[in-house]
Amino acid sequence: MSGDLALQTPPLTWLDVGAAAEVPYQGARRVETDKGAIAVFRTVDNDYYAVMDKCPHKGGPLSEGIVHGRHIACPLHNWSFSLETGEAVGADAGKGCTPTVPLKIENARIFLGLR
């Protein structure tokens, strides 16, 4: 990272938000933060992802949607999003994107990278 950029972007702080097992298979849990809620997902392949819990369409809580493959279907109007990129996919591709949040699992606990 160039010096300038490093000044502009505060470094990531990794925060322990709970045990990995607390997020149900093919499900999600929500983490409240000052900058809005974050949805933490666990897929059928046992991967974890985090995105901002706010659908770019009309703000639906993505954490309440159905997780299928590496996608989440919004509970309000069924747009689907990639959990990896946050981009809308399928019929609604290109219409919006929800920001992703860095996530890592260590010692069976979930860490979110927040700025």
Partner 1 sequence: MAFHSEPVAKPRIVVIGAGMAGGRIVEEILKRDDRMFDISIIGAESCATYDRIQLSPVLAGEKTFEQIVTHSQDWYDLNGVKTHFGSWVQGIDREARRVVLHDGQTIAYDCLILATGSDPIRLPLPGADLSGVVAFRDLHDVDLMQKAAEAGGEAVVIGGGLLGLEAAYGLAKRGMKATVIHLVDVLMERQLDAAAGRLLEKALAERGVSAVLNAQSEAILGETHVEGLKLKDGRVIPASLLVMAVGIRPHVEPAKSAGLTVERGIVVDDQMRTSDPFIFAVGECVQHRGQCYGLVAPIWDMCRTLADVLTGKNPQAAYLGSELATRLKVSGVDLYSAGQFNGGDGCEDIVFRDPARGVYKRIVIKNDQLVGAVLFGEAADGGWYFDLIKKGESIGEIRDTLIFGQAVTEALAGVDPNAAVAAWPDDTEVCGCNGVSKGTVVAAISGGADTLDKVRGCTKASASCGSCTGIVEQLLKVTLGDAFKAQTGPKPMCKCTHHGHAVVRQAIVEQALKTIPDVMQALKWETPDGCSSCRPALNYYLLCAWPREYQDDPRSRFVNERNHANIQKDGTYSVVPRMWGGVTSARELRAIADVVDKFNLPMVKVTGGQRLDIFGVKKEDLPAVWADLNAAGMVSGHAYAKALRTVKTCVGSEWCRFGTQDSTGLGIRLEQDTWGSWMPHKFKMAVSGCPRNCAEATIKDFGVICVDSGYELHVGGNGGIHLRGTDLLCKVATEAEAREYSMAFVQFYREDAWYLERTAPWIERVGLEAIKARLFDEEARKALMARFLESQAVFQVDPWAEHAPQSEPAKVFSPLADLRSEKKEIAR
Residue closest to 36 by CA, chosen among 99, 109, 110, 102: 99
Query: Which partner, ligand FES, partner 1, none, binds residue 64 by CB below 5 to 8 Å per kind?
Result: partner 1
Burial (CB < 10 A; 0-12, 13-18, 19+), residue 108, is exposed
For ligand FES, the binding residues in 77-96 under the rule CB under 6 A are: 77, 79
55 is a site residue for ligand FES (CB under 6 A): yes
Stretch binding ligand FES (CB under 6 A), from 24-32, 41-49, 54-62, 102-110 = 54-62
**Nearer Cβ to ligand FES (76/97):** 76
Sheet of 109-114: strands edge to edge?
Answer: 13-19, 109-114, 103-106
Contacts of 106 (CB under 8 A, 6+ apart): none
Q: What pairs with residue 48 in β-bridges?
A: 42
What's at 84, amino acid-wise? E
* Least distance (Å) between residue 70 CB and partner 1: 7
Question: Which positions touch partner 1 (CB under 8 A)?
Answer: 15-19, 21-27, 29-34, 37, 40, 43-47, 58-61, 64-71, 73, 75-76, 78, 80, 84-85, 110, 114
* Residues contributing to the site for ligand FES (CB under 6 A): 55, 57-60, 74, 76-77, 79
